[in-house]
Amino acid sequence: MLEYVDKIRDIARRLLSENKVDVVIGFRQGSVPMMSEPAVISRPEDVDELYWDYNCGINLTNYLTKRPDRIGIVAKGCDSRNIVTHMVENQIKREQLYIIGAPCHGMIDRSRILAALGDQEPTKVVVNDSEIVVTGPGLERKFDRKEYLQNNCATCIHRNPVIYDELLAAPVEEQKLTNRYADVEKIEAMSPDDKWAFFDKMLAPCIRCYACRNACPLCYCPTCFVDEARPQWVGKSIDPTDVRTFHFLRAYHCAGRCTDCGACERACPVNIPVRLLTKKLNKDVEDLYGFEPGMVPDVRPPLDVYRPDDPGGFIK
């Protein structure tokens, strides 16, 4: 994907110097390996800061919300679906955007690589199509790139942008997967007590930092329910009931909207697989209402519409 770098810079330079956009939102290299960070570029002379690699897992749509200006934005498959969601939810207008579509090969899972390295600190990470080469003081390790994809990228079936003005390369082949929801089904098959215990264990490390919420392009309420004090919807402690209530509600707010971009899980400092909650919702919304979020700009979200013959067996 490194071949995208020059193209992104060329397009950004052209858009800015021809005054087609006010800013270009993309990635720049981070100060530590495997941490490419968002960059907002507004001057043609700064476009060489822009970068692209296998660490661009942050969802850039998060930086579009309610912007009043004209924006060029680099968008992977998932970012593009969140742009569509943003348009549907009136957070941005299509005519403000110049979407630079990036057919995606999947981002790498930084946390799993760091875990495999233990105490050793990488100073340089080079990724090519087949492997990830990690080097540092007294350290040289290779990882199979496909084995170390972010979990959501491994089960992604929309790697190509669904909406764009220009593509950085020909569309990539979409993955054919037999079952994207195996992890969710495993939990569904448990007894209620086992489910409860599973999530108790999963959520135990949560420190309520809200990084999952902050990284999520769906979370743009002016005051989040967790920050509100009157009324206080959920306790602010790390009491297990408060933690569970937070995670339940955070996920539920994403119902029918989540594109499984993985930004939440990537942002979590204690590696909680929070996507197990949103994925369940994605599965249900797909099963019940045949809806996949962010695919078409002129269809209302599933929880904003109804059909008289919707499944309703649970209502007595």
Partner 1 sequence: MSGNYYARRKFAVMKGLLEYMGLEPGRLQFSWISSAESTKFVEVANTVAEEVKALGPAKHFIKEKAEVA
Stretch that binds partner 1, among 67-75, 94-102, 125-133, 247-255 (CB under 8 A): 247-255
Q: Which is nearer to partner 1, 136 or 235 (CB)?
A: 235
DSSP 96: G
Contacts of 54 (CB under 8 A, 6+ apart): 1, 105, 106, 107, 108, 127, 132, 145
Report the C-alpha gap between 95 and 78 in whole angstroms: 20
Residue 306's contacts (CB-CB under 8 Å, 6 or more residues apart) are none
CB contact at 8 A, 60 and 26: yes
Nearer to partner 1, 144 or 188 (CB): 188
Give the residue, chosen from 41, 84, 127, 277, that forms a contact with partner 1 under the rule CB under 8 A.
277
Q: Do 181 and 314 touch, CB atoms closer than 8 A? A: no
Matching residue, tokens 């939102």: 25
Q: Counting contacts by CB under 8 A, is residue 197 touching partner 1?
A: yes
The nearer residue to partner 1, 219 or 303, going by C-beta atoms, is 303
**Cα-based angle 75, 78, 82 (whole degrees, multiple of 5):** 85
280 binds partner 1 per the rule CB under 8 A: yes
Residue type for position 253: H
Options 252, 269, 296, 300; binder of partner 1; rule CB under 8 A: 252
Quick count: other Cβ atoms within 10 Å of Cβ 113? 18
193 binds partner 1 (CB under 8 A): yes
244 counts as binding partner 1 under rule CB under 8 A: yes
- Strand duo 97-101 + 124-127: pairing: unpaired
Stretch that binds partner 1, among 24-32, 95-103, 115-123, 283-291 (CB under 8 A): 283-291
User: Minimum distance from CB of 190 to partner 1 (Å)?
Assistant: 8
Residues 56, 30: Cα–Cα separation, whole Å: 10
Tokens of 68: 């009043």
Task: Rank residues 86 and 279 by Cβ distance to partner 1 and give the closer one.
Answer: 279
Report in angstroms how near the CB of residue 280 gets to partner 1 at its nearest.
Answer: 5
Binding region for partner 1 (CB under 8 A): 184, 187-188, 192-199, 235, 239, 241-242, 244-245, 248, 251-252, 255-256, 277, 280-281, 284-285, 288-289, 302-308, 310-312, 314-316
